[in-house]
Amino acid sequence: MSTATLKRRKKRPQKTGSFANSLLDEDRSQAFFMPASMSLEEFRKWSQSDEFPDRGCITFLGKEIFIDMSAERLYSHGSVKVEICTVLGNLVRKRKSGKLFFDRTRFVHPTAEVSNEPDAFYAAWDTIKKGALRNVATADGEDVIELEGTPDWIMEIISPSSVTKDKKKLRKSYHRAGVPEYWLIDARGADVEFDILIRGEDNYEPAEVVRGWQVSKAFGKRFRLRRVVDPTGEPDYRLQMK
């Protein structure tokens, strides 16, 4: 596991500590698992209908449905996602290697029985061209509503309400779906936990670490994630790459 130590400010020293502690102590009652009273196919029809809620994150996981109505946290979640998607998005565009998807893009894998909206996922052009990840059109055929199959990379950023989902249930589901690389990030505490996980035979295994840098097979680069302080004194993040 690679961690980046929180850089504390000289002024207002209690600010960052209280930020981390308040996140870890938050009420988690706005998210819950419930037995799935429908099949994956029925869930997919519901998720594509006008009756599907337009707020919150609703995930189908085999025999369970996970419903999270919690608002996204800015400094432990949203800011992390923006930084990583910016760096990786620029890398993918520069290389012209594939496509990066994030924020409300639904990924479905029928065999693994999962339908979820990851924080981000990526597919190389070859993956898309050979049909390993394919578009599922909207009812009117004018756009795409979900992607079905196996992407090359998925990222989840842990929030107070998603610990079990991201660390255990989705980890198993993504492995069953054959996703080669899973990034799991927890920026709620004093240290940022940044794990690049590579798919093994039975589970995901930690990526190779070279002088403190984790090796990503999906992007062919080494990475580390650090928390910094922005000009207003608030937490921010830097995904470093080489």
Which of the residues in the chain have pLDDT under 70? 1-29
pLDDT at residue number 21 = 44
This prediction has a pTM of: 0.87
pLDDT at residue number 30 = 85
Q: How far apart are CA 141 and CA 157, in angstroms?
A: 32
Domain limits, the chain: 2-28+72-241
pLDDT at residue number 70 = 92
* End-to-end CA, the chain: 18
Backbone angles phi, psi at 111, to 5 degrees: -65, -40
Using one digit for the tens of pLDDT, what is the confidence trace for 18-42? 444 443 344 445 898 999 999 999 9
The H or E element spanning position 172 is helix 170-176
Q: Does domain 2-28+72-241 have CATH number 3.90.1570.10?
A: yes
Name 45's Cβ contacts closer than 8 Å, sequence gap at least 6: none
Name 28's Cβ contacts closer than 8 Å, sequence gap at least 6: 70, 160, 161
Secondary structure percentages of the chain, helix, strand, coil, to 5: 25, 40, 35
pLDDT at residue number 23 = 39
Q: What angle do CA 71, 77, 80 make, to 5 degrees?
A: 150
Q: Which two tokens stand for residue 141?
A: 């055929």
pLDDT at residue number 138 = 93
